[in-house]
């Protein structure tokens, strides 16, 4: 051990979280080593956010040609070429890959070691026969798709996000098991590419989001021809050549759904195998590596970030975690996680974005003081001009205007939610938003309109009208 290479920081995992930590640490002068056994960029670049959004973009454009939103624009029919779509997906990955490459990180001063890491002590690991010691270690090993326990389900016969983008033809009938964001996004994308699609969900789809907005998503998907079966219990799966039978029990009784492909999108589990965490004194539970609010594990020399901690599994959370760890390790600041303004987006069309508390969560915390307001998209001139009036904004706040949460169902809702992230982070009130000057005509105007609507009963009430009458009697100034 005495001859082992010694570093200030060892980062295990070259996905979004690990890359951000390694880049920041090296540029701050810390002697940094980055360990990765798979592809640089991790799940987000290679099998997650990037390819899925590229596929969604292609499917959205095709749908817009076939089903234009404006009455004066004729539809345009054409044959979907899955090979061309896949080429676009791979080109997108290739365009972004240099940012996550070994060459870039070595240029930043990071030593990149390829291989699987395994702890051999509280501050040391072995990788490809080499021993690495570090004052601090950051585990950013990510997660992978979790397989549900369904009789007859063979993981080798189904698709996950890791294999979906390698399919060379449009599925004849894609059965999606799981109605969370990934399942909903890929269901709509494949329907727009020409596949028949059935979504099976044990409860209701998108269970973490506001029910009124989820109902809008549900209606849009069904209008496009996607079958959504909620409260479904999957009894068994049978695989055959080019055919998969899924037996379910639902509100209408037993039923067998036959698909050409099955996509499993039922959650993820952390990549902890082979790390020998017990040798480092790092505690784990069913969700992943146990960390405190500062992302430190039970070993004070080891932090864990991103998916492997069992917290919110979003790329932007991985980046957020990375910033916290850099502040703690490089600057010795007591940074801690705070998810009060954590946003998420389901990139369907229209998009469903959320930040803060839902109304149910707010009522559980604040009782009947928590109130909500829904503003339809149909009241916006820009939405009318573009023929995209299906959607809404739902805000949750206290009577004094303190903002607790916001959800938006609209085209580009993921872009629009940023204002509400800032508002919650900076503890702004709805009154602050009423004073904004926003460009006209834009969809973002709905945020200011909703804030103004919140105060309408007070502003235009009898008490205010009496005040105006009194003020009108005063001389001009």
| CATH number of residue 256's parent domain | 3.50.50.60
pLDDT at 2 over 60: no
> Does 259 belong to an annotated binding site?
no
> Does 363 belong to an annotated binding site?
no
201 and 263 in contact (C-beta within 8 Å)? no
Question: Looking at residues 19-27, what average pLDDT do you find?
Answer: 98
Final residue before a domain boundary, out of 264, 298, 317: 264
> Does 386 belong to an annotated binding site?
no
% of the chain at pLDDT higher than 90: 91
Q: Does residue 384 lie within any of the structural domains?
A: yes
Question: Looking at residues 31-48, what average pLDDT do you find?
Answer: 97
> Does 182 belong to an annotated binding site?
yes
pLDDT at 464 over 90: no
304 and 321 in contact (C-beta within 8 Å)? no
pLDDT digits (tens, 9 = 90+) for 255-312: 999 999 999 999 999 999 999 999 999 999 999 999 999 999 999 999 999 999 999 9
Q: Which residue has the tokens 């492997």?
A: 308
Question: Looking at residues 315-332, what average pLDDT do you find?
Answer: 97
Q: Does residue 36 lie within any of the structural domains?
A: no
The model's confidence at residue 250, banded by pLDDT at 50, 70 and 90, is confident
Same domain, yes or no, for 349 and 260?
no
pLDDT digits (tens, 9 = 90+) for 398-428: 999 999 999 999 999 999 999 999 999 999 9
Q: Which residue has the tokens 């938006």?
A: 408
CA angle 235, 238, 241 (to 5 degrees): 160
Q: Does residue 421 lie within any of the structural domains?
A: yes
Q: Which residue has the tokens 């028949």?
A: 196
Distance from C-alpha of 40 to C-alpha of 97, rounded to nearest angstrom: 8
pLDDT on residue 28: 98
Please list, in sequence order, all residues whose beta carbon lies within 8 angstroms of the beta carbon of residue 77, skipping any fewer than 6 positions away. 66
pLDDT digits (tens, 9 = 90+) for 193-240: 999 999 999 999 999 999 999 999 999 999 999 999 999 999 999 999
Q: Does residue 32 lie within any of the structural domains?
A: no
Q: Does residue 33 lie within any of the structural domains?
A: no
pLDDT on residue 465: 81
Same domain, yes or no, for 253 and 347?
no
Question: Looking at residues 317-334, what average pLDDT do you find?
Answer: 97
Final residue before a domain boundary, out of 237, 264, 291: 264
Distance from C-alpha of 419 to C-alpha of 251, rounded to nearest angstrom: 41
pLDDT on residue 473: 86
pLDDT on residue 214: 98
Q: Does residue 380 lie within any of the structural domains?
A: yes
> Does 180 belong to an annotated binding site?
yes
> Does 179 belong to an annotated binding site?
yes
Mean pLDDT, rounded, of the chain: 96
Collapse the DSSP code of 211 into the 3-class scheme (helix H, G, I; strand E, B; otherwise coil) and give the result.
helix
pLDDT digits (tens, 9 = 90+) for 117-152: 999 999 999 999 999 999 999 999 999 999 999 999
> Does 305 belong to an annotated binding site?
no
Final residue before a domain boundary, out of 235, 264, 293: 264
> Can you give the CATH number for the domain in which 369 is found?
3.30.390.30
Q: Does residue 227 lie within any of the structural domains?
A: yes
Distance from C-alpha of 399 to C-alpha of 263, rounded to nearest angstrom: 45
Question: Looking at residues 445-460, what average pLDDT do you find?
Answer: 91
Question: Looking at residues 71-93, what average pLDDT do you find?
Answer: 94
Count how many domains the chain has: 2
Domain that holds residue 242: 155-264
For residue 255, CA distances in Å to 179, 221, 251 come to: 19, 21, 10
pLDDT on residue 412: 96
Same domain, yes or no, for 458 and 365?
yes
pLDDT at 251 over 80: no
Q: Does residue 169 lie within any of the structural domains?
A: yes
> Does 152 belong to an annotated binding site?
no
> Does 184 belong to an annotated binding site?
yes
Beta strands in 15-129 (DSSP E): 32-36, 111-114, 117-121, 124-127
Same domain, yes or no, for 252 and 349?
no
pLDDT at 471 over 90: no
pTM to 2 decimal places: 0.95
pLDDT on residue 154: 97
Q: Which residue has the tokens 């059965």?
A: 175
pLDDT at 192 over 60: yes
pLDDT on residue 422: 98
pLDDT on residue 3: 55
């Amino acid at each position: 051990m005495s001859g082992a290479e010694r570093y200030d920081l060892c980062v295990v995992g070259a996905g979004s979280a690990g890359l951000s930590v390694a880049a920041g640490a090296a540029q701050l002068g810390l002697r940094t080593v980055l360990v990765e056994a798979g592809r640089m960029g991790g799940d987000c670049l290679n099998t997650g956010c990037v390819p899925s959004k590229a596929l969604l973009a292609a499917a959205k454009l095709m749908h817009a040609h076939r089903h234009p939103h404006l009455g004066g624009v004729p539809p345009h029919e054409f044959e979907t070429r899955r090979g061309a779509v896949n080429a676009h997906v791979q080109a997108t990955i290739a365009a972004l890959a240099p940012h996550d490459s070994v060459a870039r990180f070595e240029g930043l001063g990071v030593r990149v070691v390829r291989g699987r890491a395994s702890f051999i002590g509280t501050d040391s690991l072995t990788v490809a026969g080499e021993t690495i010691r570090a004052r601090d270690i950051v585990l950013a090993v990510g997660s992978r798709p979790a397989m549900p326990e369904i009789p007859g389900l063979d993981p080798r016969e189904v698709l996950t996000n890791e294999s979906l983008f390698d399919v060379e033809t449009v599925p004849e009938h894609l059965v999606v098991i799981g109605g969370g964001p990934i399942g909903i996004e890929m269901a709509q994308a494949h329907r727009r590419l020409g596949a028949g699609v059935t979504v099976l969900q044990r409860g209701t789809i998108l269970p973490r989001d506001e029910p009124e907005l989820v109902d809008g998503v549900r209606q849009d998907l069904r209008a496009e021809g996607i079958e959504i079966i909620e409260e479904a219990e999957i009894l068994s799966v049978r695989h055959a050549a080019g055919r998969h039978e899924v037996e379910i029990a639902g509100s209408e009784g037993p039923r067998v759904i036959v698909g050409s492909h099955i996509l499993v999108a039922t959650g993820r589990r952390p990549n902890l195998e082979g790390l020998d965490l017990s040798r480092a004194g790092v505690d784990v539970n069913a969700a992943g590596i146990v960390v405190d609010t500062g992302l430190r594990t039970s070993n004070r020399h080891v932090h864990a970030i991103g998916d492997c901690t069992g917290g919110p599994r979003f790329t932007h959370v991985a980046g957020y975690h990375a910033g916290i760890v850099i502040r703690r390790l490089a600057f010795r600041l007591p940074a801690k996680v705070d998810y009060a303004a954590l946003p998420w987006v389901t990139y369907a069309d229209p998009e469903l974005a959320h930040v803060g508390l839902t109304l149910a969560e707010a009522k559980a915390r604040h009782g009947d003081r928590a109130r909500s307001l829904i503003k339809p998209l149909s009241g916006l001139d820009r939405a009318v001009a573009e023929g995209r009036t299906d959607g809404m904004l739902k805000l949750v706040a206290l009577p004094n205007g303190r903002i607790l949460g916001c959800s938006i169902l609209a085209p580009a809702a993921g872009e629009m939610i940023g204002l509400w992230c800032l508002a919650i982070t900076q503890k702004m009130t709805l009154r602050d938003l009423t004073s904004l000057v926003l460009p006209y005509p834009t969809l973002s105007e709905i945020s200011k309109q909703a804030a103004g609507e919140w105060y309408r009963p007070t502003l235009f009430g009898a008490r205010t009208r009496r005040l105006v009458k009194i003020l009108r009697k005063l001389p001009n100034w």
